[in-house]
Structure 1
Amino acid sequence: MNLRQIDDSVYISGQMTAEDLADLHRLGIRTIICNRPDGEVADQPGFAALQQAAQQYGIIMHYIPVVPPHATPEQVQAMAQALQRAERPVVAYCKSGGRAQMLYKLATGQ
């Protein structure tokens, strides 16, 4: 996980694991948005497993997977809605953080 702050209450990260959730909880993270489709690589933690692990910390997770290189209008809309409704602070992640940051910028008009 390579957490980078891009807004007052929004962070971007590369792939995270269930072990990272304790650190995110200690940092006060309330919501995680996954922008990585399950199964991109064989050893990637699946969304359902991370979501289940996040529940023990009270972290809410959203699944808005984006297949590179482009996000659809529906994915941009879903990201905008998730960001508007999210308890903050928020972390959005994908493999490296690039898709998550691109989708954040599209969803917020930056």
Structure 2
Amino acid sequence: MDLRKINDRISVAPQIQIADLPAIAGLGFKTLVANRPDGEEPGQPLMADIEKAASEHGLKWVYMPVASGDISDDDVERFGEMIHTADAPVLAFCRSGTRCTVLWALSSAGETPAKEIFEKARSAGYDISGIAPRLAQQAQKKR
């Protein structure tokens, strides 16, 4: 299991396994967010199975699938609203953690300085510099 803290509210991870749920709950996470659609890759666990195990370990479940490389403004808005209202700390996962990080970054634009967003992502091991133009665009929308 490879958990990467973005800030006190959210951490991200590559694909988790059902066997990881006791440790995730034991670390104090309250909400588990799946940003990965079922069937994205052969052998990937079914989200319904992860949801069941998450519930058994007292974790709130949010299924918010987003196609890799196709994050819409609607996805960003829904993710931002969810992060602000979810019981924290939140663990969001996808195939590599990048999609979750990009969703967090874009939803944070305008509230958090871009430099800080890029630094937090980089500290978690994600280079999201390629979204700089879209991040600036998102920040403009919030002004």
**Range of TM-score over shorter length:** over 0.9
Give the C-alpha shift of residue 82 in structure 1. 1.1
The secondary structure found in structure 2 opposite 1:23 is: helix
Q: 1:3: which partner in 2?
A: 3
**Runs of 4+ in structure 1 over 2 Å off:** none
Offset, 1:67: 1.1
- Partner in structure 1 of residue 15 of structure 2: 15
Question: 1:12 aligns to what SS in structure 2?
Answer: strand
Whole-Å separation in 2 of the counterparts to 1:65 and 1:46: 12
- How far off is 1:61 after superposition? 1.1
Identity of paired residues, percent?
A: 34
Separation of aligned partners in 2, 1:47 and 1:83: 20
| Partner of residue 39, structure 1 | 39
Q: Distance in 1 between matches of 2:48 and 2:81?
A: 21
CA RMSD of aligned residues (A): 1.0
Q: 3-state DSSP class of the match of 1:92?
A: strand
Deviations along 1:47-76, whole A, 9 cap, x unmatched? 111011111111011111111213111111
Shift of 1:3: 0.3
| Equivalenced residues, count | 110
- Give CA deviations for 1:18-77 in whole Å, capped at 9, x if unaligned: 110100111000001111111011210111110111111110111111112131111111
Which amino acid is 1:69 matched to? G
Equivalent residue for 2:130? none
Q: Which residue of 1 aligns with 2:112?
A: none
Once residues 84 and 52 of structure 2 are traced to their aligned partners in structure 1, the CA distance between those partners, rounded to angstroms, is 23
Partner of 2:100: 100
Partner of 1:80: 80
Counterpart of 1:63, as a letter, is: Y
The code of the aligned residue for 2:34 comes to C
Q: Normalising to structure 2: TM-score of the pair? A: 0.74
Which protein is bigger by CA-based radius of gyration? Answer: 2
* Residue aligning to 2:53: 53
Task: Supply the AA of the counterpart residue of 2:26.
Answer: R
Q: Which structure shows the higher helix fraction?
A: 2
